Every structure is written in structure tokens, then in C-alpha cells.
Amino acid sequence: MATAAETIHAPMSEDEESALLDAIQKWVDKEVRPVVQKYDHADEWPKEIVEQMVEMGLFGATISQQYGGLGLSAVTYAKIVALISSHWMAITGIFNSHLIMACAVERFGTPEQKAKWLPKFAGGEIRGGLALTEPNAGTDLQAIRMTAERDGDEYVINGTKTWISNGINGDCFALLVKTDSSADPRYNGMSLMIAPKQEGFTTGKKFKKLGYNSIDSAELIFENYRIPAENLIGGVEGQGFFQTTGGLELGRINVAARGVGVAEGALRLATEYAQQRETMGKPISEHQAIQLKLGEMVTRARAARLLTFDAAQAYDRGERCDMEAGMAKYFASEAAVANSEEGMRVFGGYSYSKEYDIERLYRDAIFMCIAEGTNEMQRMIISKQWVKRNPA
Ligand SMILES: Cc1cc2nc3c(=O)[nH]c(=O)nc-3n(C[C@H](O)[C@H](O)[C@H](O)COP(=O)(O)OP(=O)(O)OC[C@H]3O[C@@H](n4cnc5c(N)ncnc54)[C@H](O)[C@@H]3O)c2cc1C
């Protein structure tokens, strides 16, 4: 089984990384910023932006170069995600969910699975996501009911997933199933499958959401859906729970990076506005009440960034980093919520206008406290790891 350090490749030189970030900033300014409100307000899938992200290689960002990906380190990847998210967080979800699926195949798949699927994932030819959650099971993943029964050289899958990102527009999903519903402990009966859309796999309703618009969140319905047994990730039943939680470390670093982006985006918008808006004959940035807000916002954003890169560096070294990724995800997502709310207050009444971007950041932020393991669970994971690493 490949470690994170083996699959996430050599860091770029500082010059290469800054050239890449520069190119992405230029793309954001030219292509993304002019259209974000149009797509977000209509909750429309941004086809041309997705095509550009495919062209830039973002769907292969963390996939190894040997499979046609960019092979970026988690640190460089987190910087890219934070940069884009500071303008439009939702579009990073489109390639992140896809990369978590790819990460599961690259870290835990057989050589044949990697050779077959990763080049297509890396080139964006096949795009998708991670399908874990069911109507009755989100945090308690071991309670899922979706079954996969072996029938000769195939598995027959039945059940429903819900809230799956890229559900409508994706072509393929890493699908968590029960291969043994009577296993005790329950996690021993769980497996992860590569599930392309084909007969027996349909999409249900697309959810209407508070924020995190333009990326589709949908139900996936499986009725006597048959896939070859060779689609079982790693080729051995009973590994799915660990494969999923292993993949979530990168997912949590990504959500942390999105939190950094939203926290920094809210800070940037509030800083600009506070210097332009005048009351009582001076810019509001000169009033102490606003200074206190900006002082807290910049501190939170910086702390979120440092925690996120700390976790990403541990991931790149191939270390176990559930505590670091949990701390980063927890802190950065809460920083996004706090900064976007403070940003709303800095904008006063204008914050309620759809013409200003701050309201989107406010609507988008809370999602990150729920995604990839709720922040309640993060704190419990952090505490358990902390105690384990510090025996009395
Ligand atoms: C926009 C969006 C996109 C999503 N995308 C995906 C996706 O692509 N793939 C996917 O598989 N899922 C996805 N999800 C689902 C998401 O991962 C779950 O919503 C999340 O894991 C929480 O599960 P739940 O909603 O069932 O809440 P529940 O598990 O019912 O939790 C409800 C509350 O109880 C708390 N809680 C639960 N158990 C405990 C416990 N043991 N101790 C303490 N507190 C507890 C939780 O922290 C939370 O506050 C998405 C969700 C949203 C909203």
C-alpha cells in the first residue's frame, strides 16, 4: 500500500510554485471573478470554468505525474485552494471531491486499478467524487445500509447515497458499501468500490442549498447496479472504512485551505470597504470598533493559514496527521465563519445586497464546519489523538 509521501510528490521549487500561483491568480482575475455572481446567484454549474480547470490540470493536481497528474505536494495544493477560495470557494469543491476519489485509488488501489483509472481521472476525462453519506448515516458512517453482494465476478449494489458533491455532473464515484452487513465490528464489513455511472445507477434530486452553490449536491440511487469485482478498491473486502478515513486527511486539509481562503477573502473585502466608506467625516477603518474587527480577522486568517500548512507539511512527510488535519479543518472553517460574519458587519446594510460578494462568503462559510467530518467530531478526534500522544 502506497503511503501519502509516495503518492504526493516532490515539492516544487519556490520559483516554480510562485509562477504557478501567479498563473492561477491571473486566471481567477480574468475568468472567475467576472462570472462568479452570475453562476452563484443562478446556482448554475459553471461549465466553462470547469473546462478551464481541466485544461489547467487541476483535476490531476495531487495525482502522481506517472499517471498524468501534476503530482503537487499537499502544501502547494492547499495554497492553490486557498487562493481560489478567497474569491469563489464552491468551484474548489468540484475538483477536490474528484481528487479524494483519485486519492483513494492511488493510495489503496491495485496496480491494475491505478493504471486503468488514474490517467482518466488526472486528465479530467472521467470526473467524480466520494459517496459515503446516506439518509440515515453521515457522522456514523458505519451505519450505512448500502449493500454489495458478490455474484460470480461481479458485485450487485443496492441502496441510496445523499448529499453527494458532483452527483449530477460527475461520471464516477468512490462508493462506500457494506460487503458484510453482519460484521462485528461493523467497519470490518465495509468496502470501497469504483462506481462509474451506468445501468442501475441514477441520480435523484439536486438539493437547493443556502450557499456552496453551482456545485451540484445530489442523491445517488443504486438498483441492482452491477460492477465487475475488479472495481473493489485494493481487491480485498473489509478495508473500506480505513481507506475512507485515510483519504479524509487530504480532504480535511483541503477543507481547511478553503476555510483559509474564505477567511482571507472576507478580510480582503472588509479591508477595502473599511477604507472607502466614510462616517463622521472619516473612513470607518479609523473607528476603533472597526479596527478591533480587522485586528481579529487578520489574526484569525493568519493562524488558520499556519495551521493548514502545518498539517499539509505533515501529510507530505507521510506522517499520520489526523490530529493536525483535524485542528486545521476545525480552526480554519470556524475562522471562515467568524471572518465572513464580521465582514458582514463591516459592510453594514450593504452586506445584505447581492451586489456585494461578502454575502456569498457568509452563506458559503458554514458548510465547511459540516463537511469532511463535523467540527464537533474534529474536536473529539483532536482530543483522542492528543491524549494518545501524551500518555500519563
Ligand atoms: C453541501 C454538502 C455537500 C456534501 N458533500 C458530500 C459528499 O460529496 N460526499 C459525502 O459522502 N457526503 C457529503 N456531504 C454529507 C456530509 O459529509 C454530512 O452531512 C456530514 O458528515 C454530517 O452528517 P449528517 O448530516 O448525517 O449529520 P449527523 O451525523 O446526523 O450529525 C448531526 C449533529 O450531531 C453531531 N454528532 C453526530 N454524532 C455525534 C457524536 N458521536 N458525538 C458528538 N456529536 C455528534 C454532529 O456533529 C452534528 O452536529 C455533504 C453535505 C453537504 C451539506
What are the residue ranges spanned by the domains of the chain?
Answer: 4-127, 129-237, 242-389
pLDDT band at 6, cuts 50/70/90? very low
Which residues face 216 on adjacent strands?
none
One-letter amino acid identity for 369?
C
372 a catalytic residue: yes
Per-residue pLDDT, averaged over 96-121, amounts to 97
Query: 90-108 and 111-122 helices cross at what angle (nearest 10)?
Result: 160
- Whole-number Å distance between alpha carbons of 330 and 320: 17
Instruction: Tell how far the Cα of 290 is from the centroid of ligand 1, in angstroms.
Output: 35
- Does residue 238 line the site of ligand 1, with CB under 6 A? no
Q: Whose CA is nearest to atom 14 of ligand 1?
A: 163
Residue 55 three-state SS: helix
pLDDT at 239 (0 to 100): 97
CATH fold for the domain made of 242-389: Butyryl-CoA Dehydrogenase, subunit A; domain 3 (1.20.140)
- Whole-number Å distance between alpha carbons of 90 and 212: 5
- Does residue 131 line the site of ligand 1, with CB under 6 A? yes
Q: Which of 43, 134, 145, 163 to mutate to test the pocket of ligand 1 (most atoms within 8 A of CB)?
A: 163
Per-residue pLDDT, averaged over 186-198, amounts to 98
- Does residue 212 line the site of ligand 1, with CB under 6 A? yes
CATH fold for the domain made of 4-127: Butyryl-Coa Dehydrogenase, subunit A; domain 1 (1.10.540)
pLDDT at 205 (0 to 100): 86
Instruction: Tell how far the Cα of 293 is from the centroid of ligand 1, in angstroms.
Output: 31
Atom of ligand 1 nearest to the CA of 132: 11
Atom of ligand 1 nearest to the CA of 131: 11
| Angle, CA 266 vertex, CA 62 and CA 287 arms, to 5° | 155
pLDDT at 7 (0 to 100): 45
Quickly count: other Cβ atoms within 10 Å of residue 51's Cβ.
11
Per-residue pLDDT, averaged over 228-246, amounts to 95
- Whole-number Å distance between alpha carbons of 311 and 115: 29
pLDDT at 1 (0 to 100): 39
Q: Is the pLDDT of residue 364 over 60?
A: yes
- Whole-number Å distance between alpha carbons of 310 and 307: 5
Q: How far apart are the first and last CA of the chain?
A: 33
- 46 and 39 in contact (C-beta within 8 Å)? yes
Atom of ligand 1 nearest to the CA of 161: 11
Around 321, how many Cα atoms within 13 Å sit in the side-chain half-sphere?
Answer: 28
Instruction: Tell how far the Cα of 327 is from the centroid of ligand 1, in angstroms.
Output: 18
Q: pTM of the entire structure?
A: 0.95
- Does residue 376 line the site of ligand 1, with CB under 6 A? yes
Q: Whose CA is nearest to atom 17 of ligand 1?
A: 371
- 77 and 35 in contact (C-beta within 8 Å)? no
On average, the pLDDT of the chain sits at 95
Which residue has 483532536 as its cell numbers?
382
Percent of the chain with pLDDT over 90: 94
Per-residue pLDDT, averaged over 144-167, amounts to 98
pLDDT band at 241, cuts 50/70/90? very high
Q: Whose CA is nearest to atom 48 of ligand 1?
A: 374
Torsion angle defined by CA atoms of residues 372, 373, 376 and 382, in that order, rounded to the nearest 10 degrees: -90
Q: Whose CA is nearest to atom 23 of ligand 1?
A: 138
Q: Do domains 4-127 and 242-389 have the same CATH topology?
A: no
pLDDT band at 305, cuts 50/70/90? very high
Q: Concatenated DSSP letters for 54-86?
A: HHTTGGGTTS-GGGTS----HHHHHHHHHHHHH
- Quote the CATH superfamily of domain 129-237: Butyryl-CoA Dehydrogenase, subunit A, domain 2 (2.40.110.10)
pLDDT at 245 (0 to 100): 84
| Angle, CA 194 vertex, CA 189 and CA 198 arms, to 5° | 120
Per-residue pLDDT, averaged over 363-370, amounts to 98
pLDDT at 10 (0 to 100): 56
- Does residue 133 line the site of ligand 1, with CB under 6 A? yes
pLDDT at 248 (0 to 100): 75
pLDDT of 112-149, one tens digit each?
999 999 999 999 999 999 999 999 999 999 999 999 99
pLDDT at 5 (0 to 100): 41
Q: Is the pLDDT of residue 270 over 50?
A: yes
Q: Is the pLDDT of residue 231 over 50?
A: yes
Catalytic residue among 134, 249, 359, 372: 372
- Whole-number Å distance between alpha carbons of 367 and 355: 22
- Whole-number Å distance between alpha carbons of 326 and 383: 10
pLDDT at 45 (0 to 100): 97
